[in-house]
């Protein structure tokens, strides 16, 4: 029996929802009755996911498409304003937009890469939260931040990424405490290896990527790497006031046992 959520009447804004975890999350919210905002930098990808959301919506609700770059504050403002103008409110903010940044400390472009990692993975989370709080306070809504197990362990050549995600974890806990009096819940999810387009940043042949997923998956206690739907399911759980109304400030590890088993990528 599959678990079904009821988000009828709710408005869910999912950043970075034109692919991967964000897309799966948007589609699940739409399937559960929510009005969904699909956003990303590629208009065609945004449109494709928005159509999928509308197709699975029980009432055929039209998903809102907003092309935006979350490292740009003007785009963030436009995203939020368009959402409120269209739906009148925001109930759930999923801060999912992010990127993998690989750089060694002695690389000549390290500081540039470090800055990009912070802007994309941390600053966008902080800014979207900052601007959405007035709207979430009205709905007693909640925020789910997509972090990573990289916030809990070092990964060679990925220090900018690891640091940005560690910042997301601490921001989540701080906001849970600070926004509690306004009845806004704030939680974070730490995915392990998930088969998405995240590996594109390494510019590896598809055969090598598939082999990496296979090798890592064999090391996981559950016997496979994650799928976007695995993380989307956790987002929906945390977003539901009915089943998770007493959960806030939690860092929810959803990694197939990666951390528990001390899985190595070597």
Catalytic residues: 161
Report the C-alpha gap between 167 and 251 in whole angstroms.
12
4-32 burial string, b = 16+ CB within 10 Å, else e?
Answer: ebebeebbbbbbbbbbbbbbbbbbbbbbb
Report the C-alpha gap between 104 and 58 in whole angstroms.
48
Q: How far is CA 50 from the centre of its chain?
A: 17
Q: What residues contact 260, with CB distance under 8 A and at least 6 apart?
A: 221
Strand ranges inside 195-259, DSSP E: 251-254
Q: What residues contact 116, with CB distance under 8 A and at least 6 apart?
A: 71, 99, 101, 160
Query: CA angle 233-239-241, nearest 5°?
Result: 125
Alpha-carbon torsion angle 223, 225, 231, 237, nearest 10: 10
Report the C-alpha gap between 118 and 111 in whole angstroms.
11
Q: Is residue 254 within 8 Å of 24, Cβ to Cβ?
A: no
Q: Is residue 186 within 8 Å of 249, Cβ to Cβ?
A: yes
Strand partners, 39: 66
């Amino acid at each position: 029996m599959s678990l079904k959520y009821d988000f009828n009447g709710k408005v869910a804004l999912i950043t970075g929802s034109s692919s991967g975890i964000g897309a799966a999350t948007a589609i699940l919210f739409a399937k559960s009755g929510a009005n969904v905002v699909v956003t990303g930098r590629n208009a065609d990808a945004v449109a494709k996911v928005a159509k999928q959301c509308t197709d699975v919506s029980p009432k055929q609700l039209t998903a809102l498409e907003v092309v935006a770059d979350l490292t740009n504050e003007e785009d963030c403002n436009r995203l939020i304003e368009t959402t409120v103008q269209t739906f009148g409110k925001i109930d759930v903010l999923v801060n999912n937009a992010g990127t993998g940044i690989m750089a060694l400390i002695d690389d000549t472009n390290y500081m540039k890469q470090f800055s990009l990692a912070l802007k994309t993975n941390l600053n966008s989370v902080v800014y979207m939260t900052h601007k959405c709080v007035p709207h979430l306070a009205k709905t007693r809504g909640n925020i789910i931040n997509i972090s990573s197990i990289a916030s809990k362990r070092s990964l060679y050549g990925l220090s900018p990424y690891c640091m940005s995600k560690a910042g997301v974890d601490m921001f989540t806990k701080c906001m849970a405490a600070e926004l509690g009096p306004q009845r806004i819940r704030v939680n974070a999810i730490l995915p392990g290896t998930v088969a998405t387009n995240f590996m594109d940043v390494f510019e590896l042949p598809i055969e090598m990527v598939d082999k990496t997923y296979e090798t890592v998956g064999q090391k996981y206690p559950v016997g496979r790497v994650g799928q976007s739907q695995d993380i989307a399911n956790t987002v929906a759980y945390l977003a539901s006031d009915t089943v998770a109304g007493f959960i806030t400030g939690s860092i929810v590890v959803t990694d197939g046992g990666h951390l528990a088993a001390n899985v190595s990528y070597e």
